[in-house]
Amino acid sequence: MFNRYHRRVADSRSSPGSGWPGGQSGGRSASHRAARRGRDMRGPLLPPTVPGWRSRAERFDMAVLEAYEPIERRWQSRVSELDVAVDEIPRIAAKDPDSVQWPPEVVADGPIALARLMPAGVDVRGNATRARIVLFRKPIERRAKDTVELGELLHEILVAQVAIYLDVEPSVIDPTIDDE
């Protein structure tokens, strides 16, 4: 009996979609009412101590640092002028994906560039720039099934790029990697 009466009163006095009798919102948003009544989110969904707290980009950056650390430790004096950067996607594209031939400073999987070594030079303003390895996050992440495979792929790419930078074979940088 109460439900029928309540529905009838609400239907007769409210405007469509307002949710309040008489069509008034009460001057407050739904989120404000929820907060006032203690039904809002109390804190962050994940505490900063769990792995899910980091974004995909932050996890990728950490994986890059872990993969580059042994190379940097071993070749510190020769790679001190080399920067490592991460970009979302490659800004370079193959003109003909079927018969693409990338220059040696680009590591690619078919028509998709995964990394690029940019030599030291001078920018458009005349400022000197340092040599830089640019890793493309999204294409690399797509080729890795899990974090272990991501670390291995990043290590292989970084070894290849550092070898090009130092003008040596990749097996000199990391003897466990076979030259292809």
Q: Where are the beta strands (DSSP E) in 40-130?
A: 82-87, 106-109, 112-118, 121-122, 128-129
Q: Which fold has domain 51-173?
A: Zincin-like (3.30.2010)
Task: In the chain, list all ranges with CATH 3.30.2010.20.
Answer: 51-173
pTM, two decimals, is: 0.69
Per-position pLDDT tens, the chain of length 180 = 444 444 444 444 444 554 555 555 555 666 666 667 767 766 666 666 766 666 888 899 999 999 999 999 999 999 999 999 999 999 877 778 777 888 899 999 988 999 999 999 998 999 999 999 999 999 999 999 999 999 999 999 999 999 999 999 999 998 887 655
Separation of alpha carbons 11 and 22, rounded Å: 9
* Crossing angle for the helix pair 147-166 and 56-74, to the nearest 10 degrees: 50
Q: Return the exposure string of 7-18: e unless at least 16 CB atoms fall within 10 Å of the residue's CB, then b.
A: eeeeeeeeeeee
